[in-house]
Every structure is written in C-alpha cells, then in structure tokens.
Amino acid sequence: MTDYKALEKQIQDQARQWLESGEVKYVIGFEKGDNSPVCRPVFIYKPEDAGKLAWGPLCNNNLTKYLVEEVQIKPKKGEEPDLRPVGIVVKPCDSKTIVELMKENIVPRERVKIIGVISEGTINPKALDKALKDVPLDKIAGIQILDGGDNFTIKYDGEPLSVPKDELLNGKCKVCVVHNPVVYDIFVGDKVTQIDKDEFEDIADLEAMSDEERYEYWKEQLSKCIRCYACRDTCPLCYCEECVFDRTKPYNWNEKTVDLPENFFYHMVRAMHLAGRCVDCGGCERVCPMDIPIRKLNRFLLKRAKERFKVVPGINVEDKAMFGDYDIDDPGEGIK
C-alpha cells in the first residue's frame, strides 16, 4: 500500500530544498491536470512553485525524454552553457531508462539529480474513464485516488468507489518486477520487497499461436497504424539527431505511404533499434492514438535478450549492451 500524499510531501520538500540552494537548474515533475485527474509534466524553476508538484498513480509519463532534450541542447554562440544538474522525479521504470541513458553516454551522471519514488503500479487513464462512467463530469477533476492493497479507492463527493487494481493498472505494471528505483539521489518511500513472478506471462498467448494466426493478428493491429510517429517521439531511448524514418537521402528507407508493408517495416525497425535497450516503460503504448499493443513488440525482444544472452537492460550501468558485446559461446547454429 502506498501513501501517495506522504510521497508527494517528500518530493515537494526535496525539490524546494534543491531549488533554494541553487543545486539544480530546474526540477522536472508532475502536476495535477486542470480538468482531469491525470497528471501532466511540469518544470519547476522557483522554490515557491515546488508546492505544485504532485504524485499519484496517474503520473504516467516517462519524464526522462526531457532530460535527453536538456543534454542535447546546444548553447547559442557566445553563451556560457548552464551545466548545473537537472532535478527529475522518476518512477522505477523511468529510473531504468536513466541507467540505460548513462550506459550509452547520453546523460552524464553529474548532469542529473534524481528523486526516485517507489511505485506499485500506475493507472491507465482509459481504464479509469471506464471506471468513472457513473461519476458526474464536473466531479472527475476533483477525485482522489487511494491505494487500498488489492484495490484502488476513488473518493469524490458521492459514495467512494472501490475498483480492483487489475482493472485499472497499466499492462506494464501488471507484469513489472522492479518496484524500487534503480538509480537515485534521494529515495522516496519505503522499499518494496522484490516480487518474484513470471515476467512474460502477457505474451504467452501470442507465443502459443501458429505462424498464420500471429501474422493475421499483427496484420490487424498494424493496419491501424497511422504512422504519427508518436511512439518514436515519446521514447527516451530514441534520441538520434536524425532518425532513419525522417531521412530521405541518400536512400529513402521507409516510404511515407501508410500501408501494411511500410507499417510493418517501421515497427520492426523501431523494435530492432530498441533491442536489448528498451526497459519497458510503456511510453509508446501510452501515446498510441490507435491502441496498437506496441509494447508487445519490444517484449519479445526483451525475452530473447534475457533468455538467450542474459542481458537485462536498465539494471546496472556496468552491464554491456546486447549488440555492443558478443560471446563466443552464444547459442545458435543458424537462427533457430
């Protein structure tokens, strides 16, 4: 059970202290939305604004994307770059992203100050909408969500609702085994005991399908894709200055046509570029306007990386990257 109010208080105090002492340039965190209970990212520059910072199960974004943008910014001519660290509030899955970014020498450790918060699962806003269908519209922004062990208690003016966690949680949280931040300067909350469960139970049904069924399944899913590239844009590990899908010269790898083969190419190449790096933060699936289960694509690769090459991304900075390393005894005569 997580006491969100207590965590929120600790986050605010820490951010205020850092901003007052000038240790950090600014703090990236979450604030309450205006007309929605869903939290949105906020940048806090002044210590008196630190009270805006919010914490709750609806803090879904992976804020490390802003961190990548911060370190990639080039100062204007004649300007001294401000190299002070940036404060950031992270969930365990986001902290894994930071580990991966440090491993790839994108974000130096000294450029970031991390407030690591424990998380026992975040709520999918779409599932919440369904659960709140009986709540009057004008009350929705003011609801309070409390963690009650196996269920969430949703408080508003009327009778409090009790919804089982399984109905509300994001898919990634249902199978997540890392509930404590991996890297942090300040640890917020009480350490959660490590859970032991089958990480890949959510893709078991897809793996059991025959080739034709799987092809039909993905054909249906990928035909929906409108190639808005939101999944790429939100991914903190897609930090290339020029993306292969934007480039048309010297060779146009991906036609701009939106049809199945091109969508297939896009999603496969995106998944390949994240092979052994993706930490399963679920950002791509969260932003997808067409509800394509994009995360599943990455999870197949996560599974292969773990089972065949013993590579688990986002745990240790010292670990080697999957494609940056090889082992003479790697299994696999042929590809099977």
Partner 1 sequence: MIEMDDKSDFEPKIIGFLCNWCSYAGADLAGVSRFQYPANVRVIRVMCSSRIDPQFVLKALTEGADGVLIAGCHPGDCHYIEGNYRTRRRIAALDKILEKYGLSDRVFLEWVSASEGKRFAEVVTDITNKLKELGPNPHKARWEI
CB of 266 to partner 1, least distance (A): 9
As a whole number of angstroms, the distance between CA 94 and CA 137 comes to: 32
CB closer to partner 1, 124 vs 298: 298
| Sign, CA torsion 42/40/74/102 | positive
Question: Residue 44 has which token pair?
Answer: 């806090």
CB closer to partner 1, 145 vs 301: 301
Q: Rule CB under 8 A: which residues touch partner 1?
A: 206-207, 210-215, 218-219, 244, 253, 259-262, 264-265, 268-269, 271-272, 275-276, 296-297, 300-301, 303-305, 308-309, 322-323, 326-328, 330, 332-336
CB of 267 to partner 1, least distance (A): 9
Contact 100, 69 (CB under 8 A): no
330: left (phi over 0), alpha (psi -120 to 50) or beta: beta
Place of tokens 């350490």: 191
What is the SS3 assignment for 28? strand
As a whole number of angstroms, the distance between CA 134 and CA 156 comes to: 12
CB closer to partner 1, 32 vs 320: 320
- CA distances to 17, 275, 304, 330, 336 from 333, in Å: 57, 21, 16, 9, 7
CB closer to partner 1, 22 vs 334: 334
CB of 96 to partner 1, least distance (A): 19
As a whole number of angstroms, the distance between CA 259 and CA 233 comes to: 20
CB closer to partner 1, 152 vs 309: 309
CB of 153 to partner 1, least distance (A): 38
CB closer to partner 1, 267 vs 286: 267
CB of 147 to partner 1, least distance (A): 34
Quote the radius of gyration of the chain (alpha carbons, Å): 21
CB of 272 to partner 1, least distance (A): 5
> What phi, psi does 89 have (nearest 5°)?
-100, 120
